[in-house]
Amino acid sequence: MRLVVLEVTRGRTPWADEAARLYLERIERMARIEERALRPADPGPDVARVREDEGRRLLAAVGPRDHVVVLDERGRGLDTEGFRALLARGDEAAVTRIVFLLGGAHGHAESTRARAQTLLSLSPLVLNHQVARVVLLEQIYRGLTLLKGVPYHH
C-alpha cells in the first residue's frame, strides 16, 4: 500500500514535527508513506483565486488511479472501522495510491473537492493545520494496525 499526504502549509512547528515523525516511523513499518508540503499561494484579496491556485498544484501531484481523500470540515466523519476500510481500499488493484489532501488556510477549491473520491472530516470543529496533520497521521497508523493485526487499538 502506498500513502501520500500532501499539504499546503507556510511552515511547521517543532511539537507537530515531533509527533508527525513518531507516527511516520510507525507507519513506515507497515506501508509506504510520503509526506509533501506545498507552499501556499501568494495571499491577496481574492480568496477564490488563492484556493484555485493551491488546488491546481495539489491536483498536479495526483495520478489518475489515485484514491483522493480531501480533508474538509464539511466532509463525512468516519469511525475507526470506517477509516480502516478506507485504508483497505489501498490494497485494491485499481488504486495506485491513497492521497490525502490538506488544504491551505482558506480551504479547498471546488475543483479539488470534485476530484475526491472521499471528502473526510477529522472533526466537526475546524482544526489548526498542524493539529489536523498529527490527527491524520495517528489515524492512518491506527487504521494500519487494525489491517495488519498489530496491537494498538483497543
DSSP 8-state secondary structure symbol assigned to residue 139: H
Listed by start position, the domains of the chain span: 2-148
Strand partners for 99? 4, 68
CB 58 within 8 A of CB 8: yes
- Give the tens place of pLDDT for each residue, 10-52: 888 999 999 999 999 999 999 999 999 999 998 888 999 999 9
Q: CA nearest 142: which of 94, 67, 84, 93? A: 84
pTM of this prediction? 0.94
- Give the tens place of pLDDT for each residue, 55-102: 999 999 999 999 999 999 889 999 999 999 999 988 777 888 999 999
- The CATH code for residues 2-148 is 3.40.1280.10
